[in-house]
Structure 1
């Protein structure tokens, strides 16, 4: 029994303390920005978000991201995991659809990309599809008085390709796009 306890304690120290500390130390040396959470700072150096966690943008002069059932709370992740037929899911989607259409009156319902009305699995996804960004251009162009062609070029500039050229879909980080939007004249 004492032998089992010692083995458990040694494994706890190796796997629960030494290994995590070693990996964190190596990550801090090899890729410090990613090890610290891929933080995004403004020109003054103030942290305004993470490249990995979405944010809520309610102001009509900004691009909006995906729906988040956890309000982009990075302390946890998750989704409601409702079936498409679930009454709560239908009600939430109809409410979000109505709000999007009210904010974007030039958009037809059938043209709205699904990623603007659906949660990601984690509820933290900071990305939307390029189509989801471009469908918001008329609203932002009108509110900010910026030419739509300039906004579309900005979206193209901030569109990230597939991971390793093979995985996933092209995507746009909403926080980075909105930061660049604020820099436009």
Structure 2
């Protein structure tokens, strides 16, 4: 597996650790520039959402991820090889789209701020999942009911969305027809095998 693919898989994992949607379910759609920070690592990319479909593009490579909750599948698409890797998708790991998360303990309103030209409400959110407790800040855009920024209390990680647009074409969530399915590398050399 190439370094670029490892980075997109890492970014994919970071995104689901950090991303907490508070938009309304259903017909919600947007595209946005995405900036993630985890310690000293900073990455940028694009996020596309349309209902229960997601596409994540990271600037560190040509690969991108598509998540199709409606099909319980996710794909890593590799345009340079005209190929894709398919993985099952656990609906429990889907970014939550309810305003209050099932593991949310408390949400305290801290005030209003403008982020990227949008009015937001800033909250301190505390969560508890099993033995793990976490607290973070979240800035919810009042016009979208969407978190344009989420950040650890100590600033060690954050995810921010900028240049938000509210229309996304369906074609962004499909594998191009000419692309071939390949299997995830299982050997130490990182060779991929094309499905036949």
Larger Rg: 1
> Counting strand residues as a fraction of each chain, which structure ranks higher?
2
